[in-house]
Amino acid sequence: MKAVAAIVLVLCYLAPSQAWNCTEGPRLYHALQIDAGHGQVVGINRYSYVYFLLGTHWYRLSSLRVKHCSVGPAGLWAVSTTNNVFKWSAGRFHQHGGMGIQQVDAGGNGQVVGTGSNQTYCLTRTNASAYREVADMSWQSLSWTMQYYSCGPFGCWGVDSSHKVYFTQGINASTCATGGWIHLPGQSMNMIEVGTDGSVFGVGTDGRIYQRIGINSSWALGTEWSIIAGCMTIRHVSYDLGYLWAVTESGLVLLCTE
């Protein structure tokens, strides 16, 4: 099976004209989601367990069943299959309240953001950095409902239930205040992730990987979407420190570099 996967990868991603070269990453069997940030990589398999990548091997962190996890400046966070929010500290997951949150993001400047079925939430940097187990924390409602939400140093990106992409210029980590949302037409997305350096990647509704080109500190919106070619349908992507991680619909982990 591994040899077949390697051949497919060569045919799909390693053409000489391709800017990104992808190979099979450390094997996490039946992977569903992956997140990279702050030099760390975590993933979830189809049995809803969180794994941490150390070297080339994945290690299961706990028996907690989760649907989404995120690692970044705010630490390692996860949403359980019962929509409760947990933070990893002192060798285990501590529950930190939750309001029916389904997806969480630990990027940005220390704050944590999350999406629920009918609302988008933010946890300030002060509350996010607390290590004590808390039954209910002060999650603040934001002004726009998203189904996927991710923050970086230049602002936050979101995808709504209609697969439209939005951007907001910055978020105040101390108060969770944001500016207005800007709709970026031209590409429908299933999910979007922001790297700790501000790079933005997403998975289109066509199952392909897209990179936002032209992002910098003076122009956080970027200029256009660029397709990362390949013939495997992608479920999830994440980027950190020059490495693009992707999970295919078949549960294969890809590791890509320029």
Domain ranges (residues) in the chain: 26-257
Q: What is the mean pLDDT of residues 24-48?
A: 97
Q: What is the mean pLDDT of residues 214-240?
A: 93
Q: What is the Cα–Cα distance from 255 to 239, expressed in whole angstroms?
A: 10
Q: Is the pLDDT of residue 205 over 70?
A: yes
pLDDT at 7: 42
Q: Which residue has the higher pLDDT, 100 or 44?
A: 44
CATH number given to 26-257: 2.130.10.30
Q: What is the mean pLDDT of residues 81-103?
A: 88
